[in-house]
Structure 1
Amino acid sequence: MAAPSPKPPTPRRRGHHQHPPSSTFTRRLHVARCSPDPPPPPPPASMPPNPNPVLSLLSAVPDWADAIQERRVRDRRPLYDHAAWREHRSSRRHLRHLLTSLSSRAILSLAPPVSAFTAFAAAIATYNTLLPAYALTASSLPYQLTAPALALLLVFRTEASYARFDEGRKAWMRVLAGAADLAGMVMHHPNNLHTRPGTGGRQADDDDDPLRRALINYILAFPVALKCHIIFDSDVKGDLQGLLAEDDLNVVLASKHRPRCIIEFISQSLQMLDLDEQKRSIMESKLSCFLEGIGVCEQLMGIPIPLSYTRLTSRFLVLWHLTLPVILWEECKWIVVPATFISAASLFCIEEVGVLIEEPFPMLALDALCKQLHDSIKDVMAVQNSVHSRLVAKTTKDHRGSRCENNGWPSSKREEAKID
């Protein structure tokens, strides 16, 4: 007896969904991704037991320069004051800059390429001196034709880097201005008034004061969290510890995107604050500058200048200085060595400055800007409390004996008649 043929699968009807088995309901749901997960990083290659001493010696100078450069990136930069500006425009600045050249991050990072090209020029000069019949020489016409192209590459590279630096600076100014504006609106929020029994007057309701103080701390914490978000190896816990409570700090530290977590604290605090709808909507609209600042900062950090442009400039500089001793030998002889050194130091320094300011945020005094905002808000709060206490004391003063004597007004009808 033949086995019964299996039933064909029932086709799915459009508009209806087939429910999976009940066991699949226990599985966790995953958010759909626009792109597949990145592959896991390859395991680190094991170091050879006996590295080549020549390669170790050649890589010692670049490693030393990179270590100094990365250490200087983490240095905190101060804001300029009147004394700093006076020193900045001093007529002795050229001598001071020359004497501090060895401590410059841009100059120290030039040690590997400049020393390599100078040594290569010395090797070419030695070869041409020992074997003059087979000397390596060439016409200088190609250099005269390509020099403007190299100049344009360096100029455009530096201008593009400074445009990124200026965009990052403006984004931070908008974030700080928005934080100061929002904190000022919270501080000048009038308390609701109600009549307390037995007081015979209307007293201020201070129920919102703890929430307002916490909201101001959230606002002050946002620039700090954004700074730690875009600066590598920042001490997030140490920077936020004096601004947030312990439980709030734990929530922020557990978040994957800490600036957006603090924005959520600010938004929900505004909803809990006793405000009219118009003022609440105005305050919530101030959060758009925070979100815009996050977007600009993440874009500048994640998207560099097109790498093809950077690589073209680097390759052009390398080929230029590799062939420079050959071009200059007939006219300069051994002067090609110092000429190559000066040319490499000058042109590579311009390219290095463009690379440094391409990442704008380590070049900005973000710590000093955050501290300046914190100090200014605290000073405004102190002044506001002092002025409020003074005005309350004046309005509650007994007017029976004298009428506003502290303000210079007449204290009796007789003095009023004299003034009339």
Structure 2
Amino acid sequence: MNLDRNWFSSALKIKGSVIPTIRSRVLWCGAFGLFVSFLSFYKIPVAAKALGGIIPSIVLGLLLVFRTNTAYERFWEGRKAWGSIVNHIRNLSRLIWVAIAELNPIHRHEKEQTLKLLVAFAFATKLHLRSQPIDERVSELVSPLQFSKLMTVKNPPLEVAFWISDFLQAKQEQGQISLYQMNELQGLLNSLVDNLGACERILRTPMPMAYAIHLKQLLLIYCLLLPFQVVEELRWWTAPAVILVSFILFGIEAIGVEIENPFGTDPNDLPLDTICNTIDQNIDDLISIETHYRRAGTYGNNLDEQLN
């Protein structure tokens, strides 16, 4: 019963759907259908079934399917890129925390700051993809000097990746990590930058304008010709029929537009705020849990218990 209630609740939900987007054009098509019904009622010869062959339904359907599939492919590729960013940050933070030796308290502080830079990379990437300036959340993760630098560069996440790479290079030169470990860490960092590039490619490569315009023109022509095709049989039901058909067609096209850029702030975009907050929580947990073990003097004992 709960499943049925949830199903109907989702089916009737307005927020997050494309109804607010397409409502006006659907109503205009319905009004035009009602106008055609009035013309037919006053014996004006407006019925023309032959107009149905101008744009075959199968052609329009294939164009809409292609449009939606292309948009969803972009959405899913963006989600995979961000999933990869999460995994690489987790692996990179884990290896930095474990592999880099702590010879004094300063080294530990440097590691904590580098882990915060990984979180800053995620937040900076989100803001970069949304064309938003660096905000206070990033300022909490970097030094004042670094924050000032990020405010002036065109690609903040790339700058953050450079700082992390510089830290790893310094630790390798100081002998705190081996060359093998250095290559592993740099490989994970390179993968982060690759995922940043993948997101930028999705963002900077929109749907070709000519295709989008042509599809909209075909949709408009089809919905305007529809009343002339059905008015002879439906009479006063022409307007509701046109509203229904235009709602379906415009809705499918609007869904493609909604998910075409998955990095925005609309309800149908990727939950980047939640993803970044999850990364932040993961890093905090890594630092706090390990710190607790060390302060309690039970880190080794807990590890032995887990292994046994």
Counterparts of residues 22-171 of structure 1 (less than 5 Å): 90-101=3-14, 103-130=15-42, 132=43, 134-140=44-50, 142-143=52-53, 146-171=56-81
Tell me if structure 2 keeps the 8 A contact 1:217–1:244: yes
Tell me if structure 1 keeps the 8 A contact 2:29–2:223: yes
Instruction: Supply the distance in 2 between the matched residues of 1:176 and 1:312 (Cα, whole angstroms).
Output: 38
Counterpart in 2 of 1:231?
130
Instruction: Supply the distance in 1 between the matched residues of 2:272 and 2:16 (Cα, whole angstroms).
Output: 21
- Helix, strand or coil: the match of 1:319? helix
Residue type matched to 1:91 in 2?
Answer: D
Count of aligned pairs between the two proteins? 294
CA-to-partner distance for each residue in 1:11-66, whole Å, 9 max, x for gaps?
Answer: xxxxxxxxxxxxxxxxxxxxxxxxxxxxxxxxxxxxxxxxxxxxxxxxxxxxxxxx
Q: Which structure is higher in RCO with an 8 Å CA cutoff and minimum separation 6?
A: 2
Extract unaligned runs of 5+ from structure 2: none
Tell me if structure 1 keeps the 8 A contact 2:134–2:150: no
Instruction: Supply the distance in 2 between the matched residues of 1:190 and 1:303 (Cα, whole angstroms).
Output: 40
Distance change (3 Å), C-alpha of 1:393 and 1:384? closer
Name the % identity. 24
CA-to-partner distance for each residue in 1:321-372, whole Å, 9 max, x for gaps?
Answer: 1011111111111111110011111111111111101111221111111111
Pick which of 117-126 and 167-176 moved more: 117-126
Instruction: Supply the distance in 1 between the matched residues of 2:47 and 2:77 (Cα, whole angstroms).
Output: 47
- Helix, strand or coil: the match of 1:275? coil
Selected match of 1:212 from 100, 111, 134: 111
Tell me if structure 2 keeps the 8 A contact 1:237–1:253: no
- Helix, strand or coil: the match of 1:181? helix
Counterparts of residues 295-314 of structure 1 (less than 5 Å): 295-314=197-216
Distance change (3 Å), C-alpha of 1:98 and 1:279? closer
Instruction: Supply the distance in 1 between the matched residues of 2:285 and 2:185 (Cα, whole angstroms).
Output: 21
Once the two structures are TM-superposed, the CA of residue 277 in structure 1 deviates from its matched residue by 2.1
Selected match of 2:251 from 327, 349, 352: 349
Once the two structures are TM-superposed, the CA of residue 146 in structure 1 deviates from its matched residue by 0.5
Tell me if structure 2 keeps the 8 A contact 1:328–1:336: yes
Once the two structures are TM-superposed, the CA of residue 235 in structure 1 deviates from its matched residue by 5.4
Distance change (3 Å), C-alpha of 1:222 and 1:394? closer
Once the two structures are TM-superposed, the CA of residue 305 in structure 1 deviates from its matched residue by 2.2
The normalised TM-score by structure 1 is 0.65
Counterpart in 1 of 2:82?
172
Residue type matched to 1:263 in 2?
Answer: A
Tell me if structure 2 keeps the 8 A contact 1:230–1:298: yes
Instruction: Supply the distance in 2 between the matched residues of 1:114 and 1:214 (Cα, whole angstroms).
Output: 54
CA-to-partner distance for each residue in 1:353-410, whole Å, 9 max, x for gaps?
Answer: 1110111122111111111111112112222223334556889xxxxxxxxxxx9xxx
Counterpart in 2 of 1:382?
288
Extract unaligned runs of 5+ from structure 1: 1-86, 193-203, 396-406, 408-420
2:91 is the counterpart of 1:181: yes
The normalised TM-score by structure 2 is 0.88
Residue type matched to 2:61 in 1?
Answer: A
Residue type matched to 1:373 in 2?
Answer: I
Tell me if structure 2 keeps the 8 A contact 1:140–1:328: no
Tell me if structure 2 keeps the 8 A contact 1:168–1:360: yes
Instruction: Supply the distance in 2 between the matched residues of 1:298 and 1:323 (Cα, whole angstroms).
Output: 40
Residue type matched to 1:156 in 2?
Answer: F
